[in-house]
Amino acid sequence: MRRFSKIVSTTSIIAVAITGLGLASSTVNAAGTSKSDIEKGQAIAFSRKKGNCLACHNIKGGKLPGNIAPPLVAMQQRFPDRAKLRAQIYDSTTANQNSIMPPFGRHKIISDKEIDLVTDFIHQL
């Protein structure tokens, strides 16, 4: 009987340890971006006064999305290199001179830190 209770006790400790590790890892994704940063990036992207991405793009979870720009889905497949996505958000006219997307970084519409946060959010879509 003692052996059984020792096994149960050990199993419980291992289960708690594994669960604790799972909770810790769920707050940071594979790219090393925290859930908090992704939420901040979403708030900026959805803000009508800041990023305003929804004015043109359809984004999961957004209300009243636009349809003049591509929907923001499967972004890690479309932009495997996060730096290229950031460059697109910073100044899309670098890659396409005829782009109608505002150059958020070049025109200082949002700060570099905010661009990083929006990039983290968009990249995980």
Strand partners, 34: 28
Q: How many separate domains does the chain show?
A: 2
> In 1-111, which ranges are continuous DSSP H helix?
2-26, 35-46, 75-78, 82-90
pLDDT in tens, 77-90: 999 999 999 999 99
Q: What is the mean pLDDT of the chain?
A: 83
Q: Give the percent of the chain with pLDDT over 70.
A: 74
Give the tokens for residue 90: 């910073």
Rounded-to-integer distance, Cα 24 and Cα 124, Å: 19
Please calculate the CA angle 103-36-65 and round it to the nearest 5 degrees. Answer: 50
Same domain membership, residue 16 and residue 55: no
Same domain membership, residue 37 and residue 15: no
Residue 27: pLDDT band with limits 50, 70, 90 = low
Per-residue pLDDT at 105 exceeds 70: yes
Task: Residue 90: give the domain boundaries.
Answer: 31-123
* pTM reported for the whole predicted model: 0.74
